Structure 1
Amino acid sequence: MKLQPESKKELLRIACGVSLCTAVMWVVFAALHLVGWVVFDYRVLLGGIIGALVAIGNFAGICFVVQKVIDEPDEKKRKAQLQISYNTRMLLQALWIIIAIAAPCFQAFAGVLPLLFPRVTIYYLQITGKYKPLTPPQEPVDIAVEDDPAPAEESAVQPRDEGGEQE
């Protein structure tokens, strides 16, 4: 299945954002290594690369499944396919987190942190105005105080003067 141009564009944006965030993470690790707080070695690089690939793969999975499901006429099948896709993607991410923590060839934090970078990229795109979710156009509604459709009826009962004053 081929991705539609709009999906390719979004996937490329996410891939660039995740890559940039991963590079920034490596710079931060290197700076912290200089002051002696963390060790910056191949484990940080390897964890970051695979974590970024898992994050980008997750987003690509979303793109492919949504594009496939759009053509499905039966709503129950659509929901089932989306749910299966979601569960599978979450399971794969959980599996990566377990591997990144358990395997000695990965630095755990550097392996898990890139899973958050797609969201960071989306927030950045929204803040800068480069990404706006689709919203259906709405008719403008003019509401003014002067637009009173029907005046209120006057009370049939006259107010009584029963003040507390004595004459």
Structure 2
Amino acid sequence: MNIEMRFSELEDVRIKLDETGRKEFWHRVDEFGGIKTFSEAFEISSSKIYNWKSKNSYIPIELVKKVFGNEASQYVEAYKGSGRSKAVENPVFPVPESSELLTRIQCSVTANKNGIPVYQASDAGLVERFSELLQEIGEVPFKIYERDVLELRYPKYLHEIFQKMN
């Protein structure tokens, strides 16, 4: 199994650009003719683009790829799914190969009723190892619950990425 995934293969996530990336992104938007022209060309609300700029918000990856091309990973500070999902900070691209992580996901992760992935184990060492494997791709947010067994929950969008890699 190979879980290597390149920046160009990511879909349906939003990107937080580092300072250099932000400057370059907005410079290219200005070169394009400004936010209004850019928004019309890509059929995105100009007010949404102004918001992204003024609030230093996460930008849809599809738009980042249109501006920078498929390999803009050097500018990525973090990425996250839609809504209020928590971000993977300082991501590593391409995602390092780890058959151990994919095997654990395939065999021991289920989705709860809300679709949130849950890794379950009765041994704290197994949960700790799983969290270490997750951290190899960046600072992955997760939460551990103690029930009848230990449960480690991580973001749904990340699980969807792992499913595509498997």
Q: TM-score range by the shorter chain?
A: under 0.3
Flag the structure with larger Rg: 1
TM-score when normalising by structure 1: 0.26
| Bigger strand fraction | 2
TM-score when normalising by structure 2: 0.26
